[in-house]
Structure 1
Amino acid sequence: MKILVVGSGGREHALVWALTRDQPTATIFCSPGNAGTGGLATNIPIPAEAIGDLLGFAVREQINLVIIGPEGPLALGLADQLRHRGLLVFGPSAAAAQIEASKAWAKDVMNAAGVPTAASMTFGDMAGAIAYIDRHAEPLVVKASGLAAGKGAVVCLTRAEAKTAAREMLEDRIFGDAGQVVVIESFLEGEELSLLALTNGTDIRILPTAQDHKRLLAGDRGPNTGGMGAYSPVSLETPELLERVRARVLEPTLAEMARRGAPFSGVLYAGLMIDAGGHPSVVEFNCRFGDPETQVILPRVTDGLFEALHACATGGPLPRLTVSSDAAVTTVLAAKGYPDRPEKGARIEIPADLPPGALVFHAGTVLAGDGTVRVNGGRVLAVTGVARTFEQAQAVSRGAAERIQFDGKQYRPDIGWREAARRS
């Protein structure tokens, strides 16, 4: 069995780690990978969005399963190109990847399918955006419709802030082409929940829930990031909630996408807002595994993952997954200057005697010529603690994060603070 994992983040390291656990005899490649994946798989120096080169490598090596991590190559049609050449792929087509790559399209799908979501309108010009903002109560959320590395949504407490956010996207193009169309929507009250589901288009297997922490600083302060940590499970999760999400969110969304000629297979990530009554609304959809959610979800899926990914690719029935009752907490260590101007090159020191239950997933790292591991991106490491209780997992993650050293290290010591407050 030859497996190719496309990407270079902590999500991809976690996928490679889980695959080596599930398929110990498989030959695994990661393209381009990082210093962590290089210890478990063979890194291939092909960028994740170099579609032609990846296609050539996969065909030449006769890869049995390609698993695409990031949204970029999915939106560019990598899965389509691979399938056209007869290869098995875990990941949606470019048409289906619009569920993340175009928030405007996703809103249209949700509204047509009757999926609960915030009231919104889509605009490509400032005049229309301003008129809408003036007619609606604050707070409002302004979102770049295209891909913006998880940073394209701005919560605006006043109309003036909303107009500024819209202007920066539509006229100043702070997100480039991703912001040439914006979605402006009402603000949803509640608590966020990340719910990921594996699907072959019809069968659905819901993965353990997680909660992300988007803000850079403790107390949910500072700028938005790609995610500074996560934990799983979330005590908001109940059997009733999962069934409600399946029936009111996942199934109608998949049916509407298929009706539009964009059937979805892979992992559908629903970013949910759960209100005080336990009712979910969709904040956004993603067409791939979340990062850093993957780093707390996969350590809890102890059996059936590879078989499920393979079944999604073939269209076959999805197996049952075995999920541990353990808790997992991950703390992201970010580079100096992140998220605006991360600085690369700092030497990373990871102690060999981290506590039991600590897992270090690499993201923005590279193995330098002198054999040292160096910072090579904004989010550098995801330090996961796995233990029997949430409190123990939180302590393992935080303790390991404190001991890993590199110049300018940034991290949040309060990952899971909402869960801790619920339990106090």
Structure 2
Amino acid sequence: MKILVIGSGGREHALCWKLKQSRLTSEIFCAPGNGGTREIAKNVDISANDIDSLLEFALKEKIDLTIVGPEEPLTLGIVDIFKEKGLKVFGPDKKASQLEGSKEFSKKVMEKYNIPTAKYETFTSFNEAKEGLKDFSYPLVIKADGLCLGKGVFICEREENAIKVLKDILEDRCFGDEGEKIIIEEYLEGVEASLLCFVSGNRLIPMESAKDHKKIEEGEKGLNTGGIGAFSPNNIITKDLEKQIEEEVLKNISLALKEEDLEYEGILFIGFMIDGNDIKVLEFNVRFGDPETESVLVRLKSDLVEVLLKSIDGTIEEKDLIWDERVSLCVVTTSLGYPLEYEKGFEITGLETIDEDITIFHNGTKYIDNKLFTNGGRVLTLTVLGDDLKSARDKIYSEIEKVNYKNIYYRRDIAKY
């Protein structure tokens, strides 16, 4: 099969890496790809949001299967457009993509179908939102309704912080149209967990759990990022909690997908906050997460192409997913300054000295004259399998020191929290 992967990050590199292992794969293209995907696929110089050009390429190359990595082309309707032309594509249509594209939409679905989540209110006016703060205690959470490149969520410890965030979003329009509506939400205590599920019609087939580290600073402090480390499985998810999640969350989501005509063939990422036996859903994503994908796919023993095809034709079963019993751990190296301003264009060296037990996925890299350079805030994701988290941590941190580029930064406490 000729396969097209859309996107340019570590998630897409991990997908290409796993797809290449399939007996069904004949050729992989990645649009636009990065320095790492170039080594295992053919990079195509087309932006992930240039749907017309991607369609033209897929038709010309007679692509058998397209997998959409990022959220934005999904919310723009790429799946609808590809399907109209008879192309096989893995991902939600434009309507279902609202589960990620609009936080208000997803919260309304959760509320309607008794999917446990935090208390919230929606506002479009600064003055009304400011008044609405009185209905919440601190800390509280403010979210811009749209995608905002993953930067639209703010935890506010005090009223003055909250008012500033509301002004930035609703009056100063720091996120443009993506922030014309905001959600104020109660702050939830507990431990975060991530669960990726294959969606086939209205059925959810869960993968192994993971935990993502989003804070840029050690000790789970500082600004939120797109994710700078992850491990799988998440040790807070016990067998009893799995059953509780199935009964209280997954069954209700399946009902919601069916009743709201949101059935699709793709991924649903569920972000949880877990406090003892109290389970709340933080968010939905309608695509593979990053870096959860890197930590989960290295544990998947099944043929990913077969799994994707079974998801699309509606025959996938939980028994189709076979997992490595070892734990996985990944640590992301970044450019100093990320997630705010940072410099790029620095040569990366040392990768050839890293132990072969480490799988290196590229997030933001590119080749210039056969030399590898940094090309983003998140640069590399180093991933390892181990018998336990301690041995995995010892291994990854002994090897990550071999990576060298100017302004390299990474957290040294991934999987400690």
Q: TM-score range by the shorter chain?
A: over 0.9
CA distance in 2, matches of 1:262, 1:203: 11
Post-superposition offset of 1:159: 2.3
Identity of aligned residues (%): 40
Shift, 1:294, TM fit: 0.6
Q: Distance in 1 between matches of 2:330 and 2:138?
A: 34
Residue equivalent to 2:311: 312
Q: What residue is the counterpart of 1:292 in the other structure?
A: 291
Question: 8 Å contact 2:11–2:288 — kept in the other structure?
Answer: yes
Q: Report the equivalent of 2:215.
A: 215
Contact 1:145 1:183 in 2 (8 A): yes
2:196 matches 1:196: yes
Equivalent-residue separation in structure 2 for 1:296 and 1:331 (angstroms)? 9
Amino acid at match of 1:282: V
Offset of residue 105 of structure 1: 0.2
Residues 305 and 24 of structure 1: CA distance in aligned 2, closer, same or farther (over 3 Å): closer
Amino acid at match of 1:298: L
The answer as to 2:414 corresponding to 1:399 is no
Structure 2: stretches of 5+ with no match in the other structure: none
The answer to whether the 8 A contact 1:109-1:257 is kept is no
The answer on whether the counterparts of 1:173 and 1:179 sit within 8 Å (CA) in structure 2 is: yes
- The structural deviation recorded for 1:246 is 2.3
CA distance in 2, matches of 1:264, 1:248: 21
Whether 1:141 aligns to 2:171 is no
Give the match for residue 181 of structure 2.
Answer: 181
Given the two structures, how large is their TM-score scaled by the length of structure 2? 0.97
Corresponding residue for residue 234 of structure 1: 234
Mapped partners of 2:58, 2:247: distance in 1: 37
Measured in 1, the distance between the counterparts of 2:163 and 2:313 equals 46
For 1:376, the aligned partner's letter is N
Q: How far apart are the structure 2 equivalents of 1:329 and 1:251?
A: 29
Q: State the one-letter code of the partner of 1:290.
A: G
Which residues of 2 match residues 205-354 of structure 1 at below 5 A?
Answer: 205-275=205-275, 277-318=276-317, 320-354=320-354
Q: TM-score, normalising length from structure 1?
A: 0.95
Q: How far 1:286 moved relative to its partner? A: 0.5
Give the match for residue 67 of structure 1.
67
Residue of structure 1 in register with 2:132 after alignment:
132
Amino acid corresponding to residue 413 of structure 1 in structure 2: R
Q: Is the 8 A contact 1:241 1:279 kept in 2?
A: no
Cα deviation for residue 356 of structure 1 reads 4.0
- Give the equivalent residue in structure 2 for 1:385: 384
1:167 positional shift: 1.5
Once residues 56 and 197 of structure 1 are traced to their aligned partners in structure 2, the CA distance between those partners, rounded to angstroms, is: 30
Partner of 1:93: 93
Q: Distance in 1 between matches of 2:352 and 2:103?
A: 43
Q: What pairs up with 1:95-134 in 2 under 5 angstroms? A: 95-134=95-134
Q: How many residue pairs were aligned? A: 416
Cα shift readout 1:16-40 (whole Å, capped 9, x = no counterpart) = 0011122374211111100100110
1:243 Cα offset (Å): 2.3
Kept after mapping to 2: 8 A contact 1:116/1:249: yes
Unaligned runs of 5+ in 1: 419-424
Give CA-to-partner distance per residue, 1:235-270, whole Å, 9 cap, x none: 111222222222322232232233223223311000
Between the aligned partners of 1:88 and 1:316, the Cα distance in structure 2 is 16
**Deviation sequence 1:277-335 (CA, Å, 0-9, x none):** 23310011101111011110000011142222112223333452110111111111111
2-structure distance, mates of 1:297, 1:270:
14
